[in-house]
Structure 1
């Protein structure tokens, strides 16, 4: 506050001294022939010189010290004292000159006192104490002088000037109070902005930090990679690597996931201590880490080997000592790829080769690995020429009620038997279709089979159908799905469309709009693979969801007390949002029992049934009356 007040005064006080100097020079000039030289030249010259010295002192360029609140406060206090002394000096000189001359000269003195004091008062708006003291000093002196000397007209003039000054002081006080209130508001807003900025920076840091290890997370890793690619010059070289822990699963299986988490925490601390300043290492999920090293492959390999050595050192976790190994794959820019997708995929190929052929080693992406990518091209060629009507089929895995083990619905799963390649992994089917631009065609072909099957299933049963990220971001695909439903005559309420969490990351708005369109016709929406690391509570609130499906990786943790608590907490979260909840990956009777105890009414997994063709599904549940198929 004192600094702001001081800076405002810097704008007002030089004009104040200029006003005093000009008015004093004019008053001395009008009395030049009738008053002594000491009063018309010498005394005003001294006053004007003092004014000019003070004016130039205020006009100098401010330095850092001028922004010190204590120094600013002391300077304003000194200004108040100087103002009083200057006021006394000028009023004394003016009244001394008033002893000479006629009515015009006496009137000039009165005008000099009035105009000068009011002008100075305005200039001292942001130093109200000084303004008040100057007014009181000058006007009380002038009023007393007028009352003693007379005549009555001069007394009346003095009184009028004093009344005007009182009103002006009141206005200036209100102005100063408004200034103080404004400064306080601005100061409060500035503090709030600083706090908001600090909170935003902290949230951004937390959003890009893995809570378990303290390392950067997947989001930060890819943001940093994209930034490097955007700023990369023709001569720049850097490497992207993936590190995957070996023998980590036995640690979890033997000692429990809690000990596995503690091990990851220890490894995170080691990595943070060992990572060079120009490198980035992030936890991408589970026991997989990503690394970016600015330099050629040789340097990246040396850094990766050093970090792997830190990872391999035995770690004491509570009362046990455990050790894990690691394998790594590296790809360099620009030789291995010029975009994030290519670099990451080729580092992943190198890692895959390391884990299968050279476990525990660091493998560089090379021409040999390039050949493996040719397999991807073979998939592209096969799907481009595929007869989808003949080659695509669907199988169904039941979703059962945990109490009765009666199916309430099925999940529709894609199968591709290529004429040239044979059976192909469904994930490769979807990825290849998206890469070739046939995603909509594949989705609609599979959905048509799902509708045909739904028409043959008992009336209450539902069919869950998976939509990819590309599906839900394509308005034409959504419109075609709705058209197929309407033409089929089947109630949309028997359909559940499953979306994965990863499909929501960059396409939230389009996904929300597409899902609303499906819900408007009566279909339900399920969020699949919930809990795998991409989950967003805001997404659960904002997206039009009816169901969540807990990822199969949680099912093995039903055998642990801590795991059951975690899964029960997820179930309670879903229940609080009025969402149905299915736990996937149930493979044992104990897991099914634990799921039921945890509050799950719906489950899916190999223990209840493997995926099967429609005829086998119909035959399996042929003896169950329709009333037993209660929809969730």
Structure 2
């Protein structure tokens, strides 16, 4: 498997859906508005055109009415003026006659424009000759009147020819004006009919376009609604899911637990909550980075899904903690079996490319309704059980016990006090000598720790070191202690060396070696005077990292000791793989030297192995002279224990060059 983590679930797709939804809605509304504007324009245009056309037609019809009257009046006035001029001979009648002739011609011309072209053309053809003859006769009559020949003018006006021409012209003019009137009336009717038709067409188009617009709008809004529902569903899913692992998150877990507890209560059944915490995850994260840490968490989620029933609820509670809710309708063994499978599967090695990772899991179990009846209380009690599992040595399963609440409260109080104590300098260095078994000369001192608690007094490491490791305070505690110890070491005899233990969690700290060198540099102490002790637990957690740290320590000039040798896992393999400068024989072998022959054989074997590897040995827990003598006989070179001195302050250790007997250093622990 290559280290190519899939990208975490992001909210961007949901945001894109919402944006696309808004775009669809905007397009639908814009299309609807555009269509509405087009409909309005069509209706307005049709109304405007109809109004203008009808108004113009009405104006022409009114003009035709007016022209009919004007032509008739002008014709009558012209005939009257001609008769009066012929009878009276008065000049103003002649002038009146001359004025009426062009007015009548102009009115006829206007009527011709309003009449159909065929009627106007026919009128001109029919009246052209008569109009010319009448015009000549009018001119002759006018000349006669002007010359005083009234009888001649009267005779001309009364002649059959003049009367015939006048009658012809009058009849043709009447037809023309009536034709223009009829034409304009027909135009008005046609326009009204056309307006009705166009209105109906526009209304029909409007209805059709409106239907299209409505369908487009409803479809667009329907798609928008669907997209919004999809986005809402996605948001709800994201809100209920852990983005990294895809499991339920804490909020979804509480909702699901309440529902499951309600159902179990109705059916009289039970549930079990399993609080799962990963062992050794923080060192992996610190060592390999968050990318590998994320891969580990996703692999954990995958393994949980595979080793549990589909009906079992799985959630990531936060960090490296997971929660499993198991239905115990088939019996209380379901939870225990599930927890054991989880511990087994999560203990299998993980491989990411060239990176091998070994973690584990501890599980705490609380049951509903036996231990608690609310989701919060059930989770709290499962966490209490998990704390007990962690204390039991990790990789274990523990059930909730009411006594755990008191222990957890005490642990929390002590954790807060420890955090404050480190900052306040309440953690003080104590030293225990490591001596040459043959000369009893002090060769080095081991750095130990005591806590001067302001209320509880002087506390030994058994009260707080494991707590510091569990809570991540071991690093700050060690550096605070080492800072003081390096200053003391600068005042100790120059040939003394300082041994101190590095916790397994600190192995993963990339800054471990630089931080140690900085402490030594600040105190003016050479690195060769510092001896770093590693337990086999630190080695087995991450062998590759331990090898790197050992090499870095030795390159920096420090020495490395394998602590508690013989009690761990594959001690011989570690000696073969890693170069140690010293081996500490565990106190369990020293304590039984006189009572168990096997212990003496084991110590002799360890000493022989050390000699072959050119490595010094130190026997821990030497309390009697008999033990010291036996160790010397077996070839062990150095010893440490109450026989040579109890842990003490720097002021008590500094003057001590040699431990002559068991009572030389009776310091109070």
**Same structural fold, with TM-score higher than 0.5 when normalized by the shorter chain:** no
TM-score after normalising by structure 1 = 0.44
Question: Looking at both structures, which has the greater relative contact order when contacts are Cα pairs under 8 Å and sequence separation is at least 6?
Answer: 2
